[in-house]
Amino acid sequence: MKISVAEQAGFCFGVKRALKLITEYHRQNKKIQTFGPLIHNTPVLNDLAARGIGQVSNPAKIGKGSTLCIRTHGIPRDVEHRLKRRRVPILDATCPLVKKGQKIIERLGRGGGRVLIVGDPDHPEIVAARSYARNVKIVDSLAAARALPRCGEASVVAQTTLNTAFFKEVVAVLMDRCEKLHVFNTVCRATQERQEAVRKLAPRVDAIVVVGSKISSNTKKLVHIAREKNRNTLQIETCADLRDRRTAARLRKFRSIGISAGASTSPQELNNVKKFLQKL
């Protein structure tokens, strides 16, 4: 069986940076907890927990003497202000590319313009991003874009992990709804590269395995793109999911399998999956 790994897969720059920041901080024997999951990947979070880096869902519950680490997706502006007022020590691991989006929204908001954000309204990145301006509307589907009232001028930004093809489709609809539309393609490069790589690989193999958490936005997009090109697409969280007898039997029938992985999947996990498939 031939196993091919997508040209771009696994840990992105923002995730590597966040893990480096928190690991170095913790190594200095400083107590630290993350505000929500640092990234969307269970094995990595379990590893952090085993090293004594836990998470709190409510910043009021931060342990005494502990620093609060802001996750890669960022936090709402008002929550950050409250933490600073309470003088809670903060380690900010927000991805710089997420921050860039926040700054664009803030600037557009200051100008008083209407800001449209294309993304998932419940995703932590968007929950945070929308706090940076008042006149914000989240657009999560083509139907939502079509339902927007016609307007004179607006700006549109994207969730960093959005499917780029979907963003283009939404923008095309919005062009028709707004007289003047300023487009900020804030889909990050890591996302674009991973999407391009899976788009290229999926039609060339008999089946494709996407490694990443079920709650990881960028992994979900990779699965969606892979499925459009190859109906034998399987999403797994860890290599352990492949040990299921039925799954293994299904995969054994293929002559070639491609592997892709979300931006929060570690190189070790990716390697475990590759080795497992090679032995099938």
C-alpha distances (whole Å) from 272 to each of 21, 164, 222, 250, 275 are 25, 29, 19, 19, 5
Q: Does 127 bind ligand SF4 (CB under 6 A)?
A: no
Amino acid identity of residue 217, one-letter, is S
Q: Which residue is nearest to ligand SF4 (CB)?
A: 14
Query: What is the rounded CA–CA span in Å between residue 160 and residue 57?
Result: 23
Counting contacts by CB under 6 A, is residue 12 touching ligand SF4? yes
Contact status: 216 vs ligand SF4 (CB under 6 A): no
125 is a catalytic site residue? yes
Looking at beta carbons only, is 67 or 195 nearer to ligand SF4? Answer: 195
Binding mask 65-94 for ligand SF4 (x = CB under 6 A): -------x----------------------
Among 133, 211, 223, 263, the residue binding ligand SF4 under the rule CB under 6 A is: 263
User: Cα dist. 242→62, 171, 245 in Å?
Assistant: 37, 39, 8
Pick the closest to residue 152 from 117, 185, 177 (CA basis).
177
Residue choice 13, 166, 184, 276 for contact with ligand SF4 (CB under 6 A): 13
- Would you give the distance in Å from CA 203 to the centre of its chain? 24
Question: How far is 22 from 274, CA to CA, in rounded Å?
Answer: 28
Q: Is residue 218 near ligand SF4 by the rule CB under 6 A?
A: yes
DSSP E strands in 99-205: the ranges are 114-118, 136-139, 151-158, 178-184
Stretch that binds ligand SF4, among 41-49, 78-86, 185-193, 240-248 (CB under 6 A): 185-193
Q: How far is the C-alpha of 98 from the C-alpha of 258, rounded, in Å? A: 29
- List the structure tokens of 247: 């799954």
Indicate which residue of 24, 106, 125, 193 is catalytic.
Answer: 125
Q: Which of 34, 67, 163, 191 touches ligand SF4 (CB under 6 A)?
A: 191
Of residues 22, 93, 95, 202, which one binds ligand SF4 by CB under 6 A?
95
Q: Known catalytic residues?
A: 125
Binding site for ligand SF4 (CB under 6 A): 12-15, 72, 95, 97-98, 160-161, 188, 190-191, 218, 263
